[in-house]
Structure 1
Amino acid sequence: MIERIWSGKSPIYLFLLPFSLLYGLVSSIRQFCYSISWLKSWKAPCPVVVVGNLTVGGNGKTPFVIWLVEQLHIKGCRVGVVSRGYGGYSENYPILLDIKTSTDEAGDEAVLIYQRTRAIVAVAPKRSDAIKVILAYSVVDIIITDDGLQHYALERDLELVLVDGVRRFGNGWWLPAGPMRERAGRLRSVDAVITNGGKVVTGEIPMSLSGYNFVNIQTRESCTPDFFKSAVAMAGICYPTSFFSTLRQLGVSVTEVVSFSDHQKYNVKILKALTPDNQPLIMTEKDAVKCRDFAQYNWWYLPVNVKIPNDKRKELLTKITALILEKH
């Protein structure tokens, strides 16, 4: 239903427009206050690159952050990552992640980034606190913020925005009538727009997500799509239909799909009930990080990797590494 409203296919969004206008007014006033220094922003002593969205979730932001960290590691850069930690809660912030940190504490996206990259990752509602704990722990060359485009309390040296090339900006309205945190005109002030699939506008960097080998959550063994004669698929992400479509494109015979809310918390009872005959259960990697402590033998996930054309990859990484060289 919400996808129909935000795409403009349902007229219900018209009744939500007054709330959207209020959201937009408050957001614009707040941004203006930061622009004229009525509200103060904190400046980190190292370069900060913000990876964010104009819309609510589902744009491939976290896989892109993982890709970016890995690319910078290859170049020998020491990278720190900060996150708000959506979906997690701790009585004490900031949290510096380690192998024992749970998704209940730090959120699924931060834990996934840490497990895939082994970068220094910190979580705090106030991003400056997360950066400070990273700098106290280790020397880093650059900080990547997972989300935080609208977190103007933190100064940034570079802004990268992820766009879903299929859905683009829906009906173009602010929340709750539409999916927008900021209007599309904000793209004119960012440093790069990375478009995940679908329609790529001139000047944007095309990106795609690919995955083929599935991984068993319990045993870590891998398999190809032809291993599954039939399977149940589940996803607790913002737009699960794209994941289900990917599985079918890979040739997996999906007999049932189950959607959960984004950042859904799971337990063994909820997920075992999805496969009463112990058929394979396939999920996203973001879901899998929340299930490692109680994973069953028939649970699998599909890791995905970012692909960006070589010329655009080189151009983007040159722009980012130049920030590091300037500081030195």
Structure 2
Amino acid sequence: MKEEPSDICSQAVLKALYPLSKIYGFVVKTRIFFYEKGILKSVRLPVPVISVGNITMGGTGKTPVVEYIAKYLQEKGKRVAILSRGYAATIKQENSSLAENVCNDEYLLFQENIPNIPHLLNKNRVKSGLEAIRRFQAEYLLLDDGFQHIHLAKDLNIVTIDALNPFGHEHIVPRGMLREPLEELRRADMIMLTRVNQCSHDEIQSIIDRLREVARHVPVVETVHKPICLESLADAARLDIHCLHGKKVFAFCAIGNPVSFRKSIESLGGELLGFRVFPDHHVYTSSELRGLNTEALRIRPDAIIITQKDKVKIKNVRNLWDFPLWTLKMGVRIVKGYEIFENKINAILH
């Protein structure tokens, strides 16, 4: 799990940010109070809404969980649509059939993995929910990053918590990484603890004990982000993940949790010669990609490894690379509490 910086300068900055965190926390709690007391009204849509969100900033593994649930509902024969706010939607799509052709990396990821499930980007999730029902006859709506979106009533409220940094240093932004106080986890119907395979048994138990303190009886489901395969950018050929064992690799990514990506490569036996990290949702420029290839030339890896979230943004740049470029594709698997997950989902199915 991540630890806070211990040097004197960093501690001074954190101390200075503390009052801002208290102010932000007060605003957040006041807003929640207004909704709880009915001063502000939530809107209920005519079909069930399942929200997948988080309580911390950064990557908690939320996107693959949304995909997992979308596929689960589809396998049950249900028509489902995904509603996203469209955060960092700066990528222009050419030849798009949508009225709006600007999207983000998560949209492109869903488009590649679940192309037959509608995905609507709109800050107004009530409006996009009604549009999904009208245009696609959606029977269920999956609200991506919806825990703080109290304006839309939910039938199932799921929170993803990253085992590598579960509690955002126990402080609200900007002092820590919490988007709201930890006790607000009590609003959740289910917690999905992600990446449990990248922490020790004692660390996981410590997280669960803390969740029992703050979230009381909210059930916890444990999941892993499991490597599925390696995919060549050049020709989309799939390789077994064991091909990475013993390979010297250079990797780069622009995701919310680069530590998890690094751990995944190392767990498959890859020897990292270089690892470059960009901000989450970063859109690579041509010069940056050329610079990454130049960096790889200096260290001569057997291959360059990226995430699928990075691949969807650079898949049209195939001829730049002097080394094989492989995407490490991941999928969510529930390792503990599947019955809890199934019962919670099935309870709202009709």
Please indicate the TM-score interval, normalised by the length of the shorter structure.
0.7 to 0.9
> Does the aligned pair in 1 maintain the 2:34–2:40 contact within 8 Å?
yes
Correspondence for 2:315: 292
Structure 2: gaps (5+ residues): 210-218
CA distance in 1, matches of 2:9, 2:113: 38
In the superposition, the TM-score normalised over structure 2's length comes to 0.83
Q: How much does 1:3 deviate?
A: 6.7
Counterpart pick for 2:243 among 211, 226, 237: 226
Would the aligned equivalents of 1:232 and 1:274 in 2 still touch at CA under 8 Å? no
Question: 1:294 deviation in Å?
Answer: 2.1
Tell me, yes or no, if structure 1 residue 117 matches structure 2 residue 114.
yes
TM-score, scaled relative to structure 1: 0.88
Cα pair 2:81 2:142 within 8 Å, conserved = yes
- The answer (yes or no) to whether the contact 1:108–1:290 under 8 Å persists in 2 is yes
Q: CA RMSD in A?
A: 2.8
Q: Does 1:236 align with 2:254?
A: yes
Task: Give the CA deviation at 1:62.
Answer: 0.5
Alignment-derived partner of residue 214 in structure 2: none
**Which piece of structure 1 moves more, 301-310 or 138-147?**
301-310
Equivalent residue, structure 2, for 1:186: 184
Deviates more, 1:199-208 or 1:122-131: 199-208
Matching residue of 1:67: 68
Task: Check whether the contact 1:40–1:153 (CA below 8 A) recurs between aligned residues.
Answer: yes
The Cα of 1:167 is off from its aligned counterpart by 1.7
Alignment of 1:66-145 (within 5 A): 66-89=67-90, 105-118=102-115, 119-145=117-143
Q: Is the 8 A contact 2:65 2:332 kept in 1?
A: yes
Describe the superposition over 1:166-215 as per-residue Cα deviations: whole angstroms up to 9, x where unpaired. Answer: 32113211000001001111122210011111415164111111104211
Hey, what does 1:26 align to over in structure 2?
Answer: 27
Tell me: CA distance 1:104–1:175, structure 2 relative to 1, closer, same or farther (3 Å): farther
2:253–2:278 contact (8 Å) kept in structure 1: yes
* 1:152-174 superposed Cα distances (whole Å, 9 cap, x missing partner): 12111110001112321132110
CA deviations 1:115-172 (Å, max 9, x no partner) are: 2122111010111122122112111221111102101121111100011123211321
Q: In structure 2, what is the Cα distance between the partners aligned to 1:5 and 1:100? A: 47
Kept after mapping to 1: 8 A contact 2:55/2:180? yes
- In the alignment of these two chains, the number of paired residues is 317
1:5 Cα deviation after fit: 4.8
The residue number in structure 1 matching 2:154 is: 156
- 8 Å contact 2:64–2:332 — kept in the other structure? yes
Match of 1:265 among 274, 283, 294: 283
CA deviation map 1:7-27 (0-9, x unaligned)? x99523222110101110111
Q: 8 Å contact 2:91–2:283 — kept in the other structure? A: no
Distance in 2 (alpha carbons) for counterparts of 1:31 and 1:226: 49
What are the Cα deviations for residues 82-134 of structure 1, in whole angstroms up to 9, with x where unaligned? 1111120499xxx9xx9767x98221112212321221110101111221221
Q: AA paired with 2:229?
A: N
- Counting aligned pairs with the same residue, the percent is 28
SS in 2 for 1:231: strand
- State the 4+ residue runs in structure 1 displaced beyond 6 angstroms: 98-101
1:304 aligns to what? 330
Q: Is the 8 A contact 1:53 1:163 kept in 2?
A: yes
